[in-house]
Amino acid sequence: MSDIRNIVILTGAGISAESGVATFRGPDGLWEGHRVEDVATPEGFARDPALVQRFYDARRARLHEVQPNAAHAALARLDSEWKGDLLIVTQNVDDLHERAGAKRLLHMHGELKSAWCRACDARLPWEDDLGSGPACPDCGVDGKLRPDIVWFGEMPYEMERIDRALMEADLFVSIGTSGAVYPAAGYVQTARYCGARTLEMNLEPSQGSIFFHETRLGRAGELVPDWVEEVLEAN
């Protein structure tokens, strides 16, 4: 592994599930009791903005009840000690990577602790509820702030930066993601086509497991620290 210099890591709901963060949707197709179409689409927000704001206000508030786990801590350690290029691309909207200490991080699906003003297009750090229709701190307009979350039908953030990193990667690692949601589900194919080694760590094989050179099955809190130790020792 001594020839590895550039690493891209994709993390999904599985890495935060061990901290108590609810995964995206349950076996019944519902997201915490709601149809995904009602709380994770622009159309759902247009139909019932109060419902959507309450949903994300509750999820934002619950962040105070969870802590980073061993997998988050291990990736933060890798971020701190890895001398080559590293990009952690997370599909998660929680702040557990940051709280663990990761710096080279990109939230492709947005963040619960960010608000987007539809009046002035500002994106702002946000800790409080949005359901009360607060004014935008930048432009002063009331009731135009929405969760800064990428919903179905919207374009994920920083796609060009992600694509560049994938094309330059020597190693692509996917942790705790089902491989069902695009464009992230296609990242392994891009990385492998461009010459990267590919590894997935998951509770069970993902839908794209066939595209990985190696699959390690188990809990992220156990697999990721062992892998990080292995990578740092080899380099």
Q: List residues with catalytic annotation.
A: 109
DSSP character at residue 30: E
CB-based burial, 51-70: b 16+ in 10 Å, e otherwise:
ebbebbbebbeebeebebbb
Length of the chain: 235
User: Rounded distance, CA 95 to CA 110, Å?
Assistant: 10
Strands 110-117 and 86-90: unpaired
Quick check: helix, strand or coil at residue 1? Answer: coil
Contacts of 28 (CB under 8 A, 6+ apart): none
Q: Is the dihedral of CA 177, 183, 187, 189 positive or negative?
A: positive
